[in-house]
Amino acid sequence: MARYNPRRSQQEWLQLITECRQSGMADNAWCERHNIPLSSFYNAVTRLRKKACAIPDSAARSDNLHTLDFTSHQDVVRIGIDPAPVPEEAGAHMTAADPDTAHTIELMMGDIRIKISNSVNPGLLTMIFQMLKAQSC
């Protein structure tokens, strides 16, 4: 259904835009209710802004601005989080199947399994590699 688009003066558009923006409705919903093409509405807004007319913000934009409260004060509270200590009984029940994430490199050669951490002594590591090399020959 074609809409009738009467020619409106700048004063009429300013009045319609102000009415729309003060209605609390979104621009598109207000325009649909009043049989005004949304493109005509926004063209009028643009034309009036170029002529330095004061155009109120749309309800959708102004509603979003009110949800952000930059003036309120929020306290920052420091909380201490200490790692829970592992009871000694739990450590005694750990088996070789439990995952061990303290090591960086894990080498396996036959029945031998070596787990190496980042803090290993380089001299000890050299000795281990020499022994493994001798075993493999």
User: Which H or E run contains 38?
Assistant: helix 38-50
CA atoms of 110 and 97, how far apart (whole Å): 17
Tell me which residues of the chain have a pLDDT lower than 50. Answer: 1, 62-66
Q: What pLDDT score does 10 carry? A: 87
Q: What pLDDT score does 32 carry? A: 93
Q: What pLDDT score does 34 carry? A: 93
41 torsion bin: left (phi>0), alpha (psi -120 to 50), beta (else): alpha
Q: What pLDDT score does 66 carry? A: 47
Q: What pLDDT score does 33 carry? A: 94
Longest dimension (CA), the chain: 98
CA atoms of 131 and 38, how far apart (whole Å): 82
Q: Report the predicted TM-score, pTM, of the whole model to 2 decimal places.
A: 0.39
